[in-house]
Structure 1
Amino acid sequence: MKLTHSLLAALLATALTTPALSEESPTLYKRLGGYDALAAVTDDFLGRLLPDPKLGRFFVGHSSDSLNRIRGEIIDFLCVVSKGPCSYSGRDMKKAHGGLKITDEDWDISVKALSTTLDKFKVPAVERKEVLTAVSGLKGDIVGR
Structure 2
Amino acid sequence: MTVSLYDRLGGYDAIVAFAGELIDRAQSDSLLGRFWSNRGEDRNARDLQLLIDYLVKETGGQMYYTGRSIALAHAGMGITETDWARFIAIVVNVAQEMRVEAPESSEVLVFLGNLKCHIVTSA
Give the alignment's TM-score, normalised by structure 1: 0.81
What are the Cα deviations for residues 90-129 of structure 1, in whole angstroms up to 9, with x where unaligned? 1111111111111110010000000001001111111111
Tell whether 2:18 aligns with 1:30: no
In structure 1, the residue matched to 2:101 is 124
In structure 2, the residue matched to 1:73 is 50
| Matched residue type, 2:54 | F
Alignment of 1:1-145 (within 5 A): 24-144=1-121
What are the Cα deviations for residues 4-30 of structure 1, in whole angstroms up to 9, with x where unaligned? xxxxxxxxxxxxxxxxxxxx2221111
Tell me by how many angstroms 1:64 deviates: 1.1
Which one has the bigger helix percentage? Answer: 2
Tell me by how many angstroms 1:85 deviates: 1.2
- Identity, in percent, stands at 34
In structure 2, the residue matched to 1:9 is none
Gaps of at least 5 residues in structure 2 are none
Structure 1 SS opposite 2:76? coil
Higher RCO structure (Cα 8 Å, ≥6 apart): 1
| Matched residue type, 1:80 | K
What are the Cα deviations for residues 33-92 of structure 1, in whole angstroms up to 9, with x where unaligned? 000000000011011100111111100122111111111111111111111111101111
Give the alignment's TM-score, normalised by structure 2: 0.95
What is the rounded CA distance, in whole Å, between the counterparts of 2:4 and 2:117 in structure 1?
A: 27
